[in-house]
Structure 1
Amino acid sequence: MVIDRRTIRTQAAIETGFIEVLSQKPLNKITVLELTEQINIGRGTFYSHYKDLFDLYNRIMQETTRTLSRLFDENYPDPGTDSYEFFANQMITYVDEHRKLFTSLMHNDLGANLRFNSRKC
Structure 2
Amino acid sequence: MDRRILKTRSAIKKAFIELMAEKKFEEITINQISERANLNRGTIYLHYMDKYDLLEKCIEEHSEVLRGLCVPENHEDHHLPIRDSLLLALEYIERHHLFYYSMLNNKGMFYFWQNMQQMMMQGISNQISMDRINQHANKEILVRFLTSASVGVMEWWIMNKMPYSAKDIADEIWLLLERNQVQKEIV
Fold agreement, TM-score > 0.5: yes
Report if aligned partners of 1:27, 1:109 keep a CA contact under 8 Å in 2.
no
**Deviation string for 1:15-51 (max 9, x for gaps)?**
0110000000111100000111111100000000000
- Aligned: 1:20 with 2:2: no
1:76 aligns with 2:76: no
Tell me the equivalent position of 2:6: 8
Alpha-carbon distance in 1 for matches of 2:4, 2:54: 18
Query: How do 1:1-121 and structure 2 match up within 5 A?
Result: 3-74=1-72, 76-77=80-81, 84=83, 86-111=84-109
Contact 1:17–1:35 (Cα < 8 Å) also in 2:
yes
Superposition TM-score, scaled by structure 2 size: 0.54
**Alignment partner of 2:39: what SS?**
coil
Consecutive unaligned residues of structure 1, counting only runs of 5 or more, are: 78-82, 116-121
C-alpha deviations, 1:53-103, integer Å up to 9, x for none?
0000000111111111110012621xxxxx82x333211100100100000
What amino acid is the match of 1:110?
A: G
Matched letter for residue 38 of structure 1? R
Give, in whole Å, the separation in 2 of the partners of 1:38 and 1:66: 26
CA distance 1:29–1:113, shift in 2 (3 Å): farther
Unpaired segments of 5 or more residues in structure 2?
Answer: 73-78, 114-187
* Paired AA for residue 72 in structure 1: C
Which residue matches 1:80?
none
How many residues align? The count is: 108
Tell me the equivalent position of 2:153.
none
Give the CA deviation at 1:112: 5.0
> Which is bigger in relative contact order (C-alpha 8 A, separation at least 6)?
1
Structure 2 contact 20–28 (Cα < 8 Å) conserved = yes
The TM-score, its normalising length taken from structure 1, stands at 0.81
Query: Which runs of at least 4 in structure 1 moved beyond 6 Å after TM superposition?
Result: none
